[in-house]
A and B are shown apart, each in its own frame.
Chain A
């Protein structure tokens, strides 16, 4: 540490307490619903009770007669302005408000603008919509049948099939399967789930007719991309659109898409000349906003009798709902699903995904997951266990036999990814040792002999995060770089503005730590700003664990540009050549004369008061960072469960997560990210699922029916780490926000199947509910009544 500085630097590796906490613990956060502008009106939405219907008529007269109601906006109004449809981030189009038909339950049908939220709700109740119901299709496999109801007659192609996508080598994979000594096959369903950030979505749109400027406070994870899309859709020049993402109450991928409510609120503000607030109810959020997962997977794994894994073959039907409004990079309609060969060295793999329309809200957003990685990891991690069971091998032994060896990195996967770094055996061995794997196996054998059900599950996953290299990754053509701008003030404090945005990840602290480390300025003297498109440099936003790999890298590179300039100023101050200087202990000092040194604070002052002749004054830099590759965090998880034979309830007794996200900026925050990720991994493994009945009615449309984990179900997670830096990231970091959500579900599912494997159970689809388990126990005659 810099002993010369009075205030500690506290850069990389310090558990610095979060700067943002000061406002949150005092109730001084500023979330969208806290924004109140003069003359502000409220917007509420009329939604369809039907999953599929034609709209015969909309009668707004009673609503308009209600005191406080000022306007009712319908699809026909928007159509007249060319705004009834909008583009999705996946190159499809989506209804803002329907002109003549609805395609999922809870779809937006009309909007009521009123003087307050109660009057708006009164208006919604009084809008009379006449529907003629049509038969819906909610099962993607049935949707592909020839006589299935057509979800999207607006398209040229008159089927519900959206796209086909594949990766890997089909011929080589088939060849290996034909020669294989052992083949295992399972059908896996990864259920439809919803992110349910505790803050719902909403916005305050304010159009200034005099300036011609639209300002939108919005629950968005990607404010710059939204600004560009809004400009393209509305023809308002981009410099006249100001998107502000204030404090955001959780994102998890659900706040990446553009929802109709945002657009309607903007239209309503333009139409009424007043600021307009739209805030969803939880039920609206849960019934209509984009969903995650909903993958129907058939997976096959080919191996030798000694357990050597050879090839993986996967076919998937992906339910994308009525609009392909997923938030994937444009060249990847199935996201990064092709990372499905995971941590294992396979000779070949072939993966196919077919996207399908159904009468359900849009699917395909992430749920704290980097573009379909969770589906991929669940598949491979389950299949490894299925193979272990078939070969009567210990699943840990089978994994250790097939891991990509540490010396083979960078490793080219059979589906084309180049893994940057990894040491999988080290992580698994550490996990096994810390949890006492052998002892647990002995305990399990003893319990099994007594008829007790205990299971041990492993997951040794590899993630793929940090999109991405711009040659491969873009969203609607916008390359997925990210950015940072740093200004060092004369007295040695600094402001950092970044192209990504925080929804709880703690960027205001961690990005300050990056700058502190690179420049030797105390972390408390560095302010981080984000989420405001008028001030922050252009960026693609925070999702898919990309902030640290992309904008974090940009921040370090921008700081290094500043340090280069600072070195010249230091040489000027010390009257030596820049070549005679070294950066050591957070200061520039003359090589061989450690006493002769200047701090960054001294250099900053000189940059404005005494800079060398011929040099620009000031000390600032900007960087748009285009990562050379993605980063590949990994981990080894062990889950121990006990199953109640009387109720089928699965109790997680212990869960140990060993994570490797490379070099760590703030260990406290990384631990917190992992705790949260594990909980959002447990949720779909044991509790959460969205289903629909045959009429397209959602079965879990509120928090009474859709069960988020509470403190009672959530175990006391145990965490530890290994550190394998990314070789291409400026400070060796990888993303971490989603690792645990991705890695946890198969560890839990594997533990439950392991507890029941002696009964011949090879697979159970998540969520593994007590009822599902009880039925299995009953079937095998081991349930206690």
Chain B
């Protein structure tokens, strides 16, 4: 859809973002937050909003591969960027190992923080395939979860790490979730 936010003020900018490999172009106000571009312009509502101080991480997405809190970036700031959201994790009907880990280890309850938490985990495992528990906890310390007490989130990420390492070690069949 086109953004409703163009109705209020005069100045708009043309922004093009590639989200999960698909381009989205819209005329947007300079004040439009990236998270609102993702949710309302692209219509991808898996990315959530949990606070207004960049504290909770529910809105975490990957911007050019780096985790970023999309409530604190303007869409115009990241014009041209590659964005990855929770909707882009599953590939060809196959869950990303992090998604699988969250199911297997009961890493989610209400599910609201889960997309942001998983994207932080994906970025961690892409740069550090064998993180220690402390490294995992440190990596997700910018993502708040009120339901799980983090124990099973840590286990979920450890599960995914193991799956990804094993897939890497096995030349065939094709690596599970190793796409970038």
Q: Are B53 and A672 closer than 8 Å at their CB atoms?
A: no
Q: Are B140 and A672 closer than 8 Å at their CB atoms?
A: no
CB distance from B124 to the nearest CB of A (A): 12
Residues of B within 8 A of A677 (CB): 149
Q: Which residue of A lies closest to B33 (CB)?
A: A118
Residues of A within 8 A of B153 (CB): 711
Known A116-B4, A282-B56: A24·B108 in contact at CB below 8 Å: yes
Q: Give chain A's interface residue range (CB within 8 Å of chain B).
A: 35 or more
Q: Which residue of B lies closest to A22 (CB)?
A: B103
Residues of A within 8 A of B109 (CB): 250, 504-506, 672, 676
Q: Scan residues 152-170 of chain B and give those whose CB is less than 8 A from a CB of chain A.
A: 152-154
Q: Are B106 and A198 closer than 8 Å at their CB atoms?
A: no
Q: Are A703 and B138 closer than 8 Å at their CB atoms?
A: no
Q: Scan residues 51-77 of chain A and give those whose CB is less than 8 A from a CB of chain B.
A: 66-68
Known A504-B147, A679-B149, A711-B154: A18·B103 in contact at CB below 8 Å: yes
Residues of B within 8 A of A283 (CB): 52-53
Q: Which residue of B lies closest to A199 (CB)?
A: B112
Query: How many residues on B have C-beta within 8 angstroms of the other chain's C-beta atoms?
Result: 62
Q: Are B110 and A248 closer than 8 Å at their CB atoms?
A: yes
Residues of B within 8 A of A115 (CB): 4, 7-8
Which residue of the partner chain, among B5, B86, B141, B151, contacts A712 with CB atoms under 8 Å?
B141
The segment from B40-48, B73-81, B172-180 that touches chain A is B40-48
Which residue of the partner chain, among A68, A249, A281, A704, contacts B112 with CB atoms under 8 Å?
A249
Residues of A within 8 A of B118 (CB): 25
Q: Are A21 and B7 closer than 8 Å at their CB atoms?
A: no
Q: Say yes or no: is A451 at the interface (Cβ < 8 Å to chain B).
A: no
Q: Say yes or no: is A717 at the interface (Cβ < 8 Å to chain B).
A: yes
Q: Say yes or no: is B22 at the interface (Cβ < 8 Å to chain A).
A: no
Q: Are A199 and B48 closer than 8 Å at their CB atoms?
A: yes
Q: Say yes or no: is B58 at the interface (Cβ < 8 Å to chain A).
A: yes
Q: What per-residue 1/0 map shows which CB atoms of A648-668 lie under 8 Å from chain B?
A: 000000000000000000001
Which residue of the partner chain, among A29, A247, A703, contacts B56 with CB atoms under 8 Å?
A703
Residues of A within 8 A of B44 (CB): 27
Q: Say yes or no: is A3 at the interface (Cβ < 8 Å to chain B).
A: no
Q: Are B86 and A27 closer than 8 Å at their CB atoms?
A: yes
Q: Say yes or no: is B102 at the interface (Cβ < 8 Å to chain A).
A: yes
Q: Scan residues 238-283 of chain A and give those whose CB is less than 8 A from a CB of chain B.
A: 247-250, 252, 281-283
Residues of A within 8 A of B9 (CB): 67
Which residue of the partner chain, among A27, A33, A196, A702, contacts B115 with CB atoms under 8 Å?
A27
Q: Are B146 and A31 closer than 8 Å at their CB atoms?
A: no
Q: Are A708 and B146 closer than 8 Å at their CB atoms?
A: yes
- Find the residue from B44, B46, B141 having the highest chain A CB count within 10 A: B46
Q: Are B102 and A21 closer than 8 Å at their CB atoms?
A: yes
CB distance from A438 to the nearest CB of B (A): 27
Q: Are B50 and A282 closer than 8 Å at their CB atoms?
A: yes
Measured in the bound complex, the distance between the Cα atoms of B146 and A714 in whole Å is: 11
Q: Which residue of B lies closest to A707 (CB)?
A: B55
Residues of A within 8 A of B89 (CB): 25-26
Measured in the bound complex, the distance between the Cα atoms of B151 and A193 in whole Å is: 23
Q: What per-residue 1/0 map shows which CB atoms of A197-214 lie under 8 Å from chain B?
A: 111100000000000000
Residues of B within 8 A of A247 (CB): 110-111
Known A25-B95, A504-B111, A703-B55: A116·B86 in contact at CB below 8 Å: no
Q: Are B151 and A198 closer than 8 Å at their CB atoms?
A: no
Q: Are A118 and B154 closer than 8 Å at their CB atoms?
A: no
Q: Say yes or no: is B114 at the interface (Cβ < 8 Å to chain A).
A: yes
Q: Are A281 and B149 closer than 8 Å at their CB atoms?
A: no
Q: Nearest 4 CB-CB pairs, A to B?
A: A27-B46, A249-B112, A504-B110, A24-B111
Apart from A116-B8, A199-B50, A249-B111: 20 A-B pairs, beta carbons within 8 A? A17-B106, A20-B111, A25-B86, A26-B46, A26-B90, A27-B86, A27-B87, A67-B7, A116-B7, A195-B146, A247-B110, A250-B110, A282-B53, A669-B106, A672-B147, A679-B150, A680-B146, A708-B146, A710-B140, A712-B137
- CB<8 Å pairs between A and B, sample of 25: A18-B106, A21-B103, A25-B99, A28-B46, A29-B111, A67-B9, A115-B4, A116-B7, A118-B31, A197-B110, A197-B112, A197-B146, A250-B109, A250-B147, A281-B52, A282-B56, A283-B53, A504-B111, A505-B109, A676-B147, A678-B149, A679-B150, A708-B144, A712-B138, A716-B133
